[in-house]
Amino acid sequence: MTSETRYFRTGSATVNGLLARTLLTSQVGVTGSIQNESSYAQIGIRVWKRDSVGTETEITSGTLVAVATWDEGIGSAIYSGSWACPQTSLASTDSIVVRVYTAVDLPLYDTWQTGQLGVTQLDSATWTVYYYLTYSIQWAILTFKFDTATYNSRITNFSYSTPAPPPSVAAPVYFGDSLSWMVY
């Protein structure tokens, strides 16, 4: 099993026919910032697996997970939410797509995607998603920042593997004539 931290990145790439921001294991160091009008200062994600022909299958069952709420008493800071990612079978060419939304009224912030993972299973693990947030009460604008050490928005415990195949059972080999058989 491989367990990684995946960072929300500013750069984009096309994987499995989808042009999206990248969700990789390192940061670029260039601040990314996306603002949305929202009457609620909350943020969360939905997650899909995407196959090589572009078909997406949602893993989060149509609901926001890892939801974090901006706290006026704290202000601009890293906030977090957790999600119990279920074990999910993958093809080796599948990528994982993460879309970030504001909670309740659901405007989409943006879409991030891994490369093709080259494994056959997304492992059951508790992801912690960290969001660097600022909120303007006056204008009802929630800003999500990412891709630097200061704006360290990321997903931890992103876990996947290729389970070992079951042990093979050799077919019996018979030696002898019709009167006496030996199995080896």
Q: Residue by residue, what is the 3-state secondary structure of the chain? A: CEEEEEEEEEEEEEECCEEEEEEECCCCCCCEEEEEECCCCEEEEEEEEECCCCCEEECCCCCCEEEEECCCCCCCEEEEEEEEECCEECCCCCEEEEEEEECCCCCEEEEEECCCCCCCEECCEEEEEEEEEEEECCCCEEEEEECCCCCCCEEEEEEEECCCCCCCCCCCCEEECCCCEEEC
Closest CA to 97 of 54, 131, 128, 130: 54
Query: Model confidence over 139-179: pLDDT tens digits?
Result: 888 899 999 999 999 999 999 998 766 666 655 555 555 54
pLDDT (0 to 100) of residue 152: 96
For residue 35, give the amino acid letter. Q
Question: What per-residue confidence (pLDDT) applies to 148?
Answer: 96
Domain hosting 117: range is 2-183
Q: What are phi and psi of 104, to 5 degrees?
A: 70, -70
Bridge partners of 84, per DSSP, are 126
pLDDT digits (tens, 9 = 90+) for 41-73: 889 999 999 999 999 999 999 989 999 988 877
Domains of the chain: total:
1
Mean pLDDT of 99-113: 85
Cβ neighbours of residue 27 closer than 8 Å, sequence gap 6 or more: 7, 9, 147, 148, 149, 152
Sequence-distant (≥ 6) Cβ neighbours of residue 98 within 8 angstroms: 23, 45, 46, 47, 111, 112, 113, 155
